[in-house]
Amino acid sequence: MHAHVPAPAATAGPSLRQKLALRGFDAVTFLVVPAAVFSLCLFVYPFAFGLILSFEPKNGGWLANYQRFFSDAYLYDTIINTLALAIPVTVLNLVLAVPVAFRVRLMRRQRLLTTILVLPITLGTVLVAEGLLNYLGPQGWFNRTLMTLGLISHPLRLVHNYWGVFASLLITGFPFTFLLTLSYVTGIDPALEQAGATLGANAWQRFRHIYLPLLMPGFAITFCLSFVQAFSVFPSAVLLGEPAGTTRVISIAAYQAAFEEYDYSMASAVAMIMGFVQLAIVVAVLAARGLFYRGPATGAKG
């Protein structure tokens, strides 16, 4: 009763094209090629190159660079120095950004304020550092004003030390932290706060029990991005800091290895260590983020 039909394999099931389309591969997928090539050439290859280079030291075994880094206090202390700058700056920026974001959320002229706040980003760290060098220096306005007011008798030492770099990182990092925070804060349905108010929660309770838990995941992301930015501090640490002492950050160690000792292998090892420290902090923060609610921050289903 059944006729013999020579069914070729291709027509028996869905075609290869259909199978691929089912898994989300079609012609549009090719649009990812430029980005893939870009990241391959400019990120993956240099990273892999650096990683391998770091295991090919000038002298000694393949781990010699790392052994040298972790046995020399002058080198491994740079991790502490960098963390001592990056973590307090990031935390303080976040703490400052939250109340400002809450206020700005209600403002009509958000764009003007946002523009003002974004200026430090566009000016770049070097310009800000140069500006601060003058402003916070012994003959700068800041010290002169304080002295004129009689608040201090000698100029405060605010540059060429930890606090100069701290101030510079705070100024250049704040707009970035603020913009991210603002986007998370405005993403929360204001009806939730109103509901909290009608249920008897005062302003602090509303922040503590409604906003804060909903913002924590966003804060974690903001912290990570701001932290990574602060951790790679270089120009202000040199210009405003004490590059041989308290603000000898890890990027300075890498720079010196590469351009003073001409030891690219060692420099790569320092860069790898730097990346690993950042990664460890970011992973820790993102893991902590998993402890909080991460669903949509609106009251109803979307």
In the list 119, 191, 280, 291, the residue contacting other proteins (rule: CB under 8 A) is 191
**Site mask for other proteins (CB under 8 A), range 132-171, x = bound:** ----------------------------------------
Nearest distance from residue 213's CB to other proteins, in Å?
5
With binding defined as CB under 8 A, does residue 187 bind other proteins?
no
Alpha-carbon Rg for the chain, nearest whole angstrom, is: 26
Neighbours of 267 (CB within 10 A): 23
Nearest distance from residue 291's CB to other proteins, in Å?
12
In the list 122, 139, 153, 198, the residue contacting other proteins (rule: CB under 8 A) is 198
In the list 200, 244, 260, 290, the residue contacting other proteins (rule: CB under 8 A) is 200
Nearest distance from residue 294's CB to other proteins, in Å?
9
Residue numbers 201-220 binding other proteins by CB under 8 A: 201-202, 205, 209-210, 213-214
Nearer to other proteins, 15 or 205 (CB): 205
Residue numbers 281-300 binding other proteins by CB under 8 A: 292-293, 295-300
Nearer to other proteins, 157 or 208 (CB): 208
**Site mask for other proteins (CB under 8 A), range 62-101, x = bound:** ----------------------------------------
d(CA 242, CA 236): 10
Q: Which residues bind other proteins (CB under 8 A)?
A: 189, 191-192, 194-202, 205, 209-210, 213-214, 292-293, 295-301
